């Protein structure tokens, strides 16, 4: 009898906790948007090859191209009549978890602006039709979509997954390491999440490029801050290294320098923990963040290459991937990570020095093989960013002496200054020619220390000028170049 009352008491306390939290029905989602840039920032297409092999039970749209790829049951051959063109974004492994205090029937619909939802599991209730066209150009306007009618099982339900474990891959199993409920698909499939992938063409807020000094220039062209950015490089037979990590405000730039020496294994693990915590701060549970990074261990962290990870602003995700869940959850968190892969100038040169046969032999199994062919078609770099340490001083906690950006530099008619000053005092901006003559001057207020102003200087002759920025008793001077 005592045990009976103890159970009743525990149940009553649990119900109070749920009621106090007011969140008995929660949905969380994570995934990635992958892009590939040449070293001058030009985005490449051809991103339609799977990063990691999927289990054979995953469904897909009858798109595509001719491809032979390895599966858990050997090799699979796909050939369809559709040719794909201008695919510059891969949407990889969004998974949607549900947390519910009881069994619930749900309807989930996701649209994909500029793309196609090409793979999914469990089986969808409805979605975009197979294309059927001989040529599908993703530069043209399109919206992909998918819908599931599914059941969230009771939190204590121990029903086994419906798939044979021999068909599963490590990347498929790792996202299950959460406390979320099981999901039952419309055809009776049992899984821990709703899964989908896609291919698309749309602009992302972060631009990544090298400058003439060999540094990496990051530009946040978006209207919102990127709360966490990580520049990560893995070289052959070497431990991975970190170039920089931190926050980037909207419309700001950052120069990341290649480290002079590798960091220790301990420091590397600390940075990956920092990444996990950034995902948690963005809305994921910690076990979800760990599952996300663990899922991409081989392809994101152990594969050679230079890449920039950045937490996508929620508003951008909602714009590109509108979602509608019925009934609406008490809480919906969506955390997408941008992964900007960057070709170094040295790697590009090696591609350009290959003949067709050598390129095929070396890179035919690489997920960017079609993009590498595109590099060869585009030829050598003819236009690099002219941002240098002389003409652009980045804003960061490690360079307090210059709390502003002058961009573009060289400029033609319009010069923009982005600033993040320590105080809210007015600032004075003056431009001098090399004779020391003051040819432009203006006083401007700041907004809580933040500053952004465009200056029309089309009346200046081409040449080098000095720009002096003053605030209180501090003065900073940098060179700017009028291109024409």
The pLDDT value recorded for residue 199 is 94
Strands (E), 45-162: 59-60, 67-71, 74-78, 83-85, 89-100, 104-113, 115-121, 126-127, 135-137, 143-152
Rounded to an integer, what distance in angstroms lies between the CA atom of residue 41 and that of residue 101?
A: 48
SS3 284: coil
Q: Where in the sequence of the chain do the CATH 2.60.40.1930 domains occur?
A: 404-482
406-422: pLDDT as tens digits: 777 778 888 888 777 77
If we measure between CA atoms, which residue out of 73, 108, 76 comes closest to residue 94?
A: 108
Q: Tell me the HSE value of 453 on the side-chain side, using a 13 A CA sphere.
A: 19
The residues near 260 (Cβ < 8 Å, ≥ 6 apart) are none
Would you place residue 6 in the very low, low, confident or very high pLDDT band (cuts 50, 70, 90)? very low
Cα–Cα distances in angstroms (integers) from residue 124 to residues 141, 160, 175, 386, 420, in the given order: 23, 20, 20, 49, 48
pLDDT at 13: 39
CATH of 404-482, one of 2.40.50.140, 2.60.40.1930, 3.30.420.40, 2.30.40.10: 2.60.40.1930
Main-chain dihedrals φ then ψ at residue 234, nearest 5 degrees: -125, 115
Beta bridge partners of 270: none
Task: Give residue 7's pLDDT band: very low, low, confident or very high (50, 70, 90).
Answer: very low
Q: For 111-138, write each residue's pLDDT tens digit.
A: 999 999 999 999 999 999 887 766 788 9
**CA 29 to the chain's CA centroid:** 14
Place of tokens 């991409």: 296
Across residues 295-311, what is the average pLDDT? 95
| Predicted local distance difference test score (pLDDT) of residue 402 | 62
Q: Which residue has the higher pLDDT, 404 or 176?
A: 176
What H or E segment, with its residue span, contains residue 414? Answer: strand 414-420
Average pLDDT over residues 217-232: 92
């Amino acid at each position: 009898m005592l045990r009976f009352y103890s159970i009743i008491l525990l149940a009553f306390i649990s119900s109070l906790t749920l009621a106090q939290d007011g969140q008995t029905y929660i949905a969380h989602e994570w995934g990635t948007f992958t892009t590939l840039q040449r070293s001058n920032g030009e985005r490449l297409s051809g991103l339609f090859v799977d990063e990691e092999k999927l289990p054979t039970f995953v469904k897909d749209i009858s798109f595509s191209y001719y491809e032979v790829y390895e599966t858990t049951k050997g090799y699979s051959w796909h050939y369809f009549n559709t040719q794909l063109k201008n695919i510059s974004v891969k949407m990889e492994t969004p998974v949607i978890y549900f947390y519910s205090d009881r069994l619930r029937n749900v309807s989930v619909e996701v649209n994909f602006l500029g793309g196609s939802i090409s793979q999914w599991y469990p089986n969808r209730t409805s979605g975009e039709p197979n294309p059927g066209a001989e040529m599908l150009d993703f530069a043209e306007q399109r919206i992909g979509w998918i819908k599931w009618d599914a059941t969230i099982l009771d939190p204590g339900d121990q029903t086994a997954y419906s798939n044979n474990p021999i068909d599963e891959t490590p990347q498929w199993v790792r996202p299950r390491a959460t406390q979320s409920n099981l999901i039952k698909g419309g055809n009776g499939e049992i899984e821990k999440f709703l899964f989908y992938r896609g291919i698309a063409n749309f602009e992302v807020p972060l631009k990544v490029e090298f400058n003439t000094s060999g540094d990496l220039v990051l530009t946040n062209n978006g209207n919102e801050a990127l709360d966490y950015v990580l520049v990560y490089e893995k070289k052959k037979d070497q431990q991975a290294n970190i170039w920089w990590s931190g926050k980037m405000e909207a419309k700001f730039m950052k120069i990341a320098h290649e480290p002079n020496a590798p960091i220790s294994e301990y420091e590397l693990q600390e940075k990956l923990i920092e990444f996990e915590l950034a995902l948690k701060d963005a809305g994921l549970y910690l076990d979800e963040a760990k599952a996300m990074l663990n899922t991409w261990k081989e392809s994101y962290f152990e594969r050679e290459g230079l890449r920039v990870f950045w937490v996508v602003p929620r508003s951008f995700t909602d714009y590109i991937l509108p979602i509608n869940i019925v009934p609406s959850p008490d809480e919906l968190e969506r955390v997408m990570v941008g992964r900007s892969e960057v070709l170094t100038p040295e790697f590009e040169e090696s591609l350009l020095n290959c003949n067709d046969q050598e390129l095929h032999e070396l890179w035919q199994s690489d997920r960017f093989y079609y993009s590498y062919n595109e590099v060869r078609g585009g030829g050598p770099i003819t236009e690099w960013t002219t941002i240098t340490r002389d003409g652009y001083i980045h804003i960061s906690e490690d360079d307090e002496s210059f709390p502003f950006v002058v961009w573009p530099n060289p400029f033609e008619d319009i010069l923009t200054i982005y600033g993040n000053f320590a105080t809210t005092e007015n600032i004075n901006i003056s431009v001098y020619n090399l004779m020391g003559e003051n040819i432009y001057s203006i006083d401007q207020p700041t907004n809580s220390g933040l500053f952004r102003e465009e200056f029309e200087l089309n009346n200046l002759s081409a040449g080098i000028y000095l720009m002096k920025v003053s605030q209180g008793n501090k003065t900073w001077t940098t060179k700017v170049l009028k291109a024409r």
